[in-house]
Amino acid sequence: MSECQTFVKLSKEKLIPKSDILSLLRTYNCYHEGKNFQLRTREEDGELILEGLLNIYWGLRRPIRLQMYDDNERFRLNRNDVEKELSPESNNNSPGRETGPAGGDVVGQEEEDSPQLLRTRSDASFMQIQRRSKTHTARDLQRLRTHRFSINGHFYNHKTSVFTPAYGSVTNVRVNSSMTTIQVLNLLLHKFRVENKSEEFVLYMVHESGERTRLRDGEYPLVARVLCGPCEKVSKILITEADLGEEVTYDVAQYIKFEIPVLDSFVEKLKEEEEREINKLTKKFSALKSMIQHQLECKANTSDRE
């Protein structure tokens, strides 16, 4: 069996035995049994690939900006759709005939112009066509849903285009184990049409103990998630600003949850220990200094006698 079949990449430098990953994966999928977060596996060029949904928690302190339009284009009905809306059949007021969802529900999410009206049949039909000009077909609405997701209910509009996602709220993206941290960030930002660049953000693995480990650009977040276990109360992936995030080692994290009086007592004990060490070094230095001076005096006396 070749090396690529027996190891899985944690980063570009680190490899993990495939058997260890499969064992952890069984535990991971057992924990998520009956849920959409179970991971699938496949072989690609002799390499084991994991794929599935990855939860990411929002930990931003500053506002982000959402793109106004999907794919840098304004959503607009084409000419054929307009002609269809203006056709005689579409102007019949048949009982029970559905005219589509109210335009206000969509306009609140997508600011757009009304299509230009090409022709009208009568004043009454003109008013009806005006109302319909702001409606979308089921296909159009499906397209809108496909191309844009909301962050905590926020789509783009002029009131909420710049906002800070609720701290600790969770979202997810579908990734695989060959996607690096920077690729996962780009995918997350693209999903919600965030204008900010991916370089402005970083991902951290945050542990219940308070330990925070940054996921480097060359690491694979899905593999890191499996290694840390399935329970997100124990550890979770957090997105935060690159200049505000800070790594916290386990040694430091274990003191974070202590109360101030307890921490003050620790500081006092450390100061006492420091004083003891200083006294030891001072005595040792004095002893060595006396020894050197004594040796120098002995050599000087010997030279005088000669």
Q: Supply the CATH number for residue 36's domain.
A: 3.10.20.90
* Residues 157/67, Cβ–Cβ less than 8 Å: no
Residue 140: inside a domain = no
Would you state the pLDDT for residue 137?
64
Do 295 and 176 reside in the same domain of the chain?
no
The Cα–Cα gap between 87 and 75 comes to 22
- Give the list of residues 6+ apart from residue 54 with CB closer than 8 angstroms, or none: 172, 173, 174, 175, 184, 221, 222, 225, 237
Question: What are the 10-residue block averages of pLDDT along the chain, 306 residues in total?
Answer: 60 81 93 92 86 95 84 48 43 38 35 34 41 56 62 77 90 93 94 91 91 91 94 94 82 72 85 93 92 87 74
**Structural domain of 202:** 7-63+162-254
Give the total number of structural domains in the chain: 2
Do 173 and 58 reside in the same domain of the chain?
yes
- Per DSSP bridges, beta strands 201-207 and 235-241 are antiparallel
Would you state the pLDDT for residue 143?
57
- Give the list of residues 6+ apart from residue 23 with CB closer than 8 angstroms, or none: none
Do 50 and 168 reside in the same domain of the chain?
yes
Would you state the pLDDT for residue 6?
67
Residue 88: inside a domain = no
Do 222 and 247 reside in the same domain of the chain?
yes
The Cα–Cα gap between 175 and 260 comes to 42
Do 53 and 179 reside in the same domain of the chain?
yes
Would you state the pLDDT for residue 138?
64
Do 238 and 262 reside in the same domain of the chain?
no
The Cα–Cα gap between 220 and 225 comes to 9
* SS3 (DSSP) at 159: coil
- Give the list of residues 6+ apart from residue 156 with CB closer than 8 angstroms, or none: 66, 67, 68, 69, 109, 110, 111, 148, 193
Residue 70: inside a domain = no
Do 246 and 177 reside in the same domain of the chain?
yes
Do 249 and 188 reside in the same domain of the chain?
yes
Do 200 and 280 reside in the same domain of the chain?
no
118-139 pLDDT, tens digit per residue, is 333 333 443 444 444 455 566 6
Measuring CA to CA, which residue among 171, 164, 162, 197 is closest to residue 61?
Answer: 164
Would you state the pLDDT for residue 118?
34
